[in-house]
Structure 1
Amino acid sequence: MANFVRLVVLVLVLVLAAASLLVAGGAPGHAATVLKYSNWLPVGNVMREKVVEPWIAEVAKVTNGSVKIEMLPKVIGSVPAQFDVARDAQADITIFVNGYTPGRFDVMEVAELPFMCDNAELYAAVVNNFYRTHLAQYGEYRGVHPLSVFVIGTGQLFNNKRPIRALADIKGLKLRSPQPGVTQSLNLLGAVPVSKPASELYELLSSGVIDGTLLVPESVGSFKLIDSLPYATIVPGALYNTILTLGINEDKWAALSRENQDAITRISDDLFARAVGRAYLDGDRVTWEAMRKGGKSIETASPELVAEVRQALKPVETAWIEKARKRGVADPQKLIDDLRADIAAASK
């Protein structure tokens, strides 16, 4: 009888131990996969707080704790080098800005051309789908598996010198450029482009290196630049959009089970892209409200000015077509037309 009791107790102990392991996130011998995320988004950034952090929590949930993402305390490497950080497995996951490495994502730049779309939520999802169906074949993300390809808020013009009411008002302004296409646009508009990441804006403005920047409105607020950039010019249709990508090292992705890959894909892709676009639209409204309360200038470009800018920036599209051909795109104009058709269809 005593032996029987001891056997029952032993069985109960083993059952409780197994249950404890399952609650902790895995079965015996199957520890959770922990992926390192290289973060460069500051505390208070709308994408970090409203999208990235909830997504990290959701990954653990949809994989039943078998995949967890650890946000590292500081960025690995530099912000412009984040694609390399993921590709070379210095970290497993990161968000990188395509335009911070000129010449690397030339075909992808089709989605950054002037006057494509000024609705971030709509366009983010369009760009993600357009990448999957039209652009992935060109292999510009080789070494990194894109979990979501998206745009953030619409890029607009901010400066600390004067309101922009005519092309002449832009000439001579030293303006920060986030990507190659914008650099070309600024040259065509008579400004002086300075290519730097957004994280350096405060120092560049306070030291007088630049007079302003092309930037999404949300970031003017989250980077605490409202007092440094008292003049805002909204250009309907958008002077540009910036592509960002949530990417994971290809080998790390391949090592995950198909079940976990599918679960993570379902909460990434379009859902992640739309969430980013929506978050930036909300953030834009916060910035506009803060600028108005602070007595700053917010003006919408007149139809006449928009027409002048469109005409001045036509060479940007021509230059991209030539660049895309060199990258193996047989019919670059068709890519442009297909993208505009997708935008029109999503807008209905």
Structure 2
Amino acid sequence: MTSILKSTVVALAAMTTTMTTAASAESYNANHFFAERHSMVRGPYVEFAKKVAEETNGEIDFTVFSAGSLLPPASSLQGVRDGVAQVTYHAGTYTPSELPIDNLIGNMAFYNTDPLVMAFASTEFGLTNAEQQAEWKANGVVYGGGYSTSEYFMQCNTPIRTLEDMQGKRLRMAGGAWSRFAEFAGAVPVSIPSSEMYTGLDAGSLDCAVAAADALDSFSLKDVVTDMNTLAIGNYYAGFEWGYNVPFWQSITPENRRVLFNEMAYYLGEHRIAFDKDVEEAVQSAKDGGMTVVDPDETLTNALAEFVVADEATLISTAKERGVADPEAILTAFKAIIDKWDGLLADVDTTDVDALAALARSEIYDKIDETTYGVN
């Protein structure tokens, strides 16, 4: 065989190998119902997908669908179970009957309102608590990791300064404990998706949207909000930032599961830093446009404190009605994890993504066995 012929054969063989490898790589669906510009999508989904593809040599290639283009909010749990998406974000309050334990801990949003603490604590709980793990499994999802919004504030088209100002006001709430607080304070809770907050405020069917303040930009609320009260009405972390389809998870190699663990650890911290930065920029932009920002007066802070104490009994009774056997024990376990993370994060630079990722790996993800998690 001539040297030219040999070279041709080798080149053809290499081309065939490359084509075979490319053909064997599969593209998977990643779903989020927030827009791509949102901090919970930009890093944890768009960048995450790119890094996962790189680290797995293209064996896991996610196509990111945002803004509900693949699955609407209420269908994300069913969609990942049925394989419409291989990974998805899910807001737990859309499925209280299917996820009673998740909703129990998700309604503990007033126990500690530090978003970073709650993102890390809810992630550890979701990955390690036996009862919660059984709930994920029963719903056909492999839990990957959590998140937390920034603190929820009242963003209004009318001034809210005191508890009296809240009487009869129509407040968009995230359901659950948030709605109960509105009623406790004499307001009227309105349960609508975040995508409808702008329309409600603009049309006058809402007086306030209670949400993280990045919504001033990400949902354009600065165009219809004139006043914001900084009473910290909890923060939202129910459900999961990454929930995986079971057949998908079990089909990938343990090495690739470890890649996913490492990247989730990184973006658990990254999205929190990005989220708070977005809040800061959105609030400043809205203030520059004329929005008034006020701190809560004593009547509001006292009302919230009274509600937090009174509502735990409601959390427990509601969980029991939904079939949770021992909600008191679950809340005790979750509080212990929250308190643990309150201490751990006090000793780390919370503006350093790499430091947060290292802590998430050492305290959570490195303790999980990628050969058995989600498989057995």
Query: Given the two structures, how large is their TM-score scaled by the length of structure 2?
Result: 0.82
Q: Name the residue aligned to 2:294.
A: 299
Q: Any runs of at least 4 consecutive aligned residues in structure 1 with deviations exceeding 6 A, and if so which?
A: none
Asked if residue 52 in structure 1 is aligned to residue 48 in structure 2, the reply is no
Match of 1:287 among 269, 282, 287: 282
CA deviation string 1:182-228 (max 9, x = no partner): 22221122111111110111222222221111101112221110131
- The answer (yes or no) to whether the contact 1:120–1:280 under 8 Å persists in 2 is no
Q: Name the residue aligned to 1:253.
A: 249
Q: Name the residue aligned to 2:191.
A: 195
CA deviation string 1:5-26 (max 9, x = no partner): 35522442245425744xxxx7
Write the distance in 2 (CA, Å) between the matches of 1:106 and 1:200: 26
Q: Name the residue aligned to 1:227.
A: 223
Asked if residue 174 in structure 1 is aligned to residue 170 in structure 2, the reply is yes
Match of 2:11 among 10, 13, 32: 13
Q: Name the residue aligned to 1:271.
A: 266
**Relative contact order: is structure 1 or structure 2 higher (C-alpha 8 Å, sep ≥ 6)?**
1
Q: Name the residue aligned to 1:82.
A: 76
Where 2:24 maps in the other structure, the secondary structure is coil
Residue 101 to residue 139, structure 1, CA distance change in 2 (3 Å): closer
Match of 2:115 among 112, 117, 120: 120
The Cα of 1:159 is off from its aligned counterpart by: 1.4
Match of 1:37 among 30, 44, 47: 30
Residue 126 to residue 226, structure 1, CA distance change in 2 (3 Å): same
Write the distance in 1 (CA, Å) between the matches of 2:128 and 2:332: 14
Write the distance in 2 (CA, Å) between the matches of 1:330 and 1:285: 42
Where 2:21 maps in the other structure, the secondary structure is coil
Write the distance in 1 (CA, Å) between the matches of 2:204 and 2:33: 25
Asked if residue 162 in structure 1 is aligned to residue 159 in structure 2, the reply is yes
Asked if residue 111 in structure 1 is aligned to residue 109 in structure 2, the reply is no
- The answer (yes or no) to whether the contact 2:122–2:237 under 8 Å persists in 1 is no
Write the distance in 1 (CA, Å) between the matches of 2:194 and 2:79: 19
Residue 52 to residue 282, structure 1, CA distance change in 2 (3 Å): same
CA deviation string 1:17-56 (max 9, x = no partner): 25744xxxx737x611210123432242222223321101
- The answer (yes or no) to whether the contact 1:151–1:244 under 8 Å persists in 2 is no
Write the distance in 1 (CA, Å) between the matches of 2:338 and 2:32: 31
- The answer (yes or no) to whether the contact 1:37–1:92 under 8 Å persists in 2 is yes
- The answer (yes or no) to whether the contact 1:147–1:265 under 8 Å persists in 2 is yes
Where 2:61 maps in the other structure, the secondary structure is strand
Asked if residue 325 in structure 1 is aligned to residue 323 in structure 2, the reply is no
Residue 93 to residue 192, structure 1, CA distance change in 2 (3 Å): same
Q: Name the residue aligned to 2:56.
A: 63
Write the distance in 1 (CA, Å) between the matches of 2:96 and 2:173: 12
Asked if residue 101 in structure 1 is aligned to residue 95 in structure 2, the reply is yes
Match of 1:133 among 100, 125, 128: 128
- The answer (yes or no) to whether the contact 2:152–2:212 under 8 Å persists in 1 is yes
- The answer (yes or no) to whether the contact 2:216–2:286 under 8 Å persists in 1 is no
Match of 1:316 among 311, 316, 327: 311
Question: Letter of the aligned partner of 1:149 in structure 2?
Answer: G
Write the distance in 1 (CA, Å) between the matches of 2:71 and 2:78: 9
Write the distance in 2 (CA, Å) between the matches of 1:103 and 1:209: 28
Question: Letter of the aligned partner of 2:33 in structure 1?
Answer: W
- The answer (yes or no) to whether the contact 2:101–2:319 under 8 Å persists in 1 is yes
- After TM superposition, the structure 1 stretch with the greater mean CA deviation from structure 2, 112-121 or 204-213, is 112-121
- After TM superposition, the structure 1 stretch with the greater mean CA deviation from structure 2, 195-204 or 175-184, is 175-184
Query: Given the two structures, how large is their TM-score scaled by the length of structure 1?
Result: 0.88
Write the distance in 1 (CA, Å) between the matches of 2:324 and 2:75: 26
Where 1:226 maps in the other structure, the secondary structure is helix
Question: Letter of the aligned partner of 1:158 in structure 2?
Answer: Q
Question: Letter of the aligned partner of 1:35 in structure 2?
Answer: Y
Write the distance in 1 (CA, Å) between the matches of 2:134 and 2:311: 21
CA deviation string 1:148-180 (max 9, x = no partner): 122221222221111232x21111011111232
Identity level (%): 20
> Structure 2 unaligned runs (5+)?
344-376
> Structure 1 unaligned runs (5+)?
none
Q: Name the residue aligned to 1:153.
A: 150
Where 1:340 maps in the other structure, the secondary structure is helix
CA deviation string 1:280-330 (max 9, x = no partner): 111111122112212212122245531222213434221111133345545
The structure with the larger Rg is: 1
Residue 255 to residue 18, structure 1, CA distance change in 2 (3 Å): same
Where 2:122 maps in the other structure, the secondary structure is helix
Write the distance in 2 (CA, Å) between the matches of 1:39 and 1:137: 22
Q: Name the residue aligned to 2:361.
A: none
Residue 178 to residue 52, structure 1, CA distance change in 2 (3 Å): same
Residue 112 to residue 273, structure 1, CA distance change in 2 (3 Å): farther
Residue 77 to residue 107, structure 1, CA distance change in 2 (3 Å): same
Question: Letter of the aligned partner of 2:156 in structure 1?
Answer: N
- The answer (yes or no) to whether the contact 2:86–2:245 under 8 Å persists in 1 is yes
Where 1:181 maps in the other structure, the secondary structure is helix
